[in-house]
A and B are shown apart, each in its own frame.
Chain A
């Protein structure tokens, strides 16, 4: 299925859960904020979170800024 990750198309296995996906991408969920279809997903609920076709995922984090 197709999803949008940080504004770019990605093709992944249907029915994948978020925790697996984040792991696959090599991110530590402790250090980033996961925004799924414009909603923040808490770290605790990542495991049971099934992704669907055409969903949007944004991975963001705090950086230096003025």
Chain B
């Protein structure tokens, strides 16, 4: 049976989503994307800085990829909506990762504003992937608001601390009828594999690859880890369970 991964009705051939921030040189990006096998690649929108000429990142992303702008920099729903509309108007397609952060100490997302932005953008036809702190009630509201996937954090952005929110993410995987994509915090391939084994639909990795000594090799390691984790999930690992007959049977009285 084919293992199909769909977001917003579109089939995606890789469960490793890739961020393009923090690379030592944008020139690395084409090879990293290709090695990672990623099809969904995130980018950001910024005001130009007259002090130095930045390159156009989109030019470094292979043409067959889906460019997914994030709304980083937004501090409330209104700003996130504005950034998303600008990105679409600038020819970026319909996909958007909502990221609303008001907390500068831990960089944790503002779930409340995220729900509001999701609702507005989904109604405007965007394929909305909200980044959030794993919370079941918020995830349910995101489903109602029309999100295409839910992206809980494994640990704070850029912290490389791994899957600290595991139990909460497991609940989202069990209860939410949308792809759960673990975003932020995954520092090692083994952590990505763990998320995939649990049943996450995909992971989004940026810092761990961008800041590795050899980003291309690390991209390959993540790719393999994501595939291995997915395979393990599909294979249905045997659970540890006492299958011995209990000393006092509860159903011994049943005859028919």
Question: Do chains A and B make direct contact within the complex (CB under 8 angstroms)?
Answer: yes
User: A: which residues have CB within 8 A of B?
Assistant: 6-7, 25-27, 31-33, 35, 38, 40, 58-66
Q: Is the CB of A40 within 8 A of B21?
A: no
Beyond A62-B90, A63-B43, A64-B26, whether A6 also contacts B48 by CB under 8 A is yes
Give the interface of B toward A (CB within 8 A): 19-23, 26, 29, 42-48, 50, 54, 56-58, 67, 69-70, 72, 82, 86-87, 89-90, 92, 157, 184, 204, 206-207
Bound Cα distance from A32 to B53, whole angstroms? 11
The B interface, classified by DSSP as helix, strand, loop or mixed, is mixed
User: 23 A-B pairs, CB-CB below 8 angstroms?
Assistant: A6-B47, A6-B48, A31-B56, A40-B86, A40-B89, A40-B90, A59-B48, A60-B86, A61-B46, A62-B57, A62-B69, A62-B92, A63-B45, A63-B46, A64-B19, A64-B20, A64-B22, A64-B43, A65-B20, A65-B43, A65-B45, A66-B157, A66-B204
Provide the residues of chain A in CB contact with B19, threshold 8 Å.
64-66
Residues of B close to A63: CB separation below 8 A: 21, 43-46, 54, 57
CB contacts (< 8 Å) of A6 on chain B: these are 47-48
Residue on A with the closest CB to B23? A64
CA distance A58 to B85 in the complex (A): 14
Contact B44 A65 (CB under 8 A): yes
A38 to B86, CA, bound (A): 9
In the complex, what's the smallest C-beta–C-beta distance from B157 to chain A, in angstroms? 7
A65 touches B70 (CB 8 A): yes
Q: In the complex, what residues of B have CB within 8 A of residue A61's CB? A: 45-46, 48, 54, 56
Chain A residue contacts of B207, Cβ below 8 A: 66
A-B interface pairs (CB < 8 A), number: 83
Residues from chain B with a CB closer than 8 A to the CB of A31 are 56
Contacts A33-B90, A40-B86, A66-B21; A60 near B56 (Cβ below 8 A): no
Q: Which of A27, A40, A60, A66 contacts B70 (CB 8 A)?
A: A66
B48 touches A66 (CB 8 A): no
Interchain CA distance A66-B156 in the complex, whole Å:
13
Q: Which of A27, A32, A62 contacts B44 (CB 8 A)?
A: A62
Contact status A32-B48, CB under 8 Å? yes
The reply to whether A35 and B21 form a contact with Cβ atoms under 8 Å apart is no
Known: A63-B57, A64-B20. 19 other contacts (CB 8 A): A6-B48, A7-B47, A33-B90, A60-B47, A60-B90, A61-B46, A61-B56, A62-B44, A62-B46, A63-B21, A63-B54, A65-B19, A65-B21, A65-B72, A66-B44, A66-B72, A66-B157, A66-B184, A66-B204
Judging by beta carbons under 8 Å apart, are B42 and A66 in contact? yes
